[in-house]
């Protein structure tokens, strides 16, 4: 139901995500934005362009 979906999303934000952040801190993990890592190959600056097949 709609109420169940809202409850699920609320619990994810209030319980699950904060717990995951704490575990990440304990393990020394950071998110891609903190490490300035690309979140998509398109934004990577250190990859060589792969040859493409002829169209």
d(Cα 28, Cα 49) in Å, to the nearest integer?
32
3-state secondary structure (DSSP) of residue 49:
coil
- Beta carbons of 41 and 47 less than 8 angstroms apart: yes
Query: Mind listing the pLDDT tens digit of every residue in the chain (55 residues)?
Result: 999 999 999 999 999 999 998 998 898 887 766 776 666 767 677 777 777 787 6
Reading the block at residue 47, the tokens are 């990859």
Instruction: List pLDDT tens digits, range 22-36.
Output: 998 898 887 766 776
pTM of the model: 0.51
3-state secondary structure (DSSP) of residue 26:
helix
* Predicted pLDDT of residue 19: 94
Residue 8 DSSP symbol: H
d(Cα 12, Cα 20) in Å, to the nearest integer?
10
């Amino acid at each position: 139901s709609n109420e169940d979906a809202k409850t699920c999303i609320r619990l994810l934000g209030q319980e699950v995500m904060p717990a995951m952040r704490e575990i990440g801190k304990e393990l020394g993990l950071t998110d891609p934005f903190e490490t300035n890592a690309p979140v998509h190959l398109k934004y990577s600056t250190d990859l060589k362009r792969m040859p493409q097949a002829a169209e």
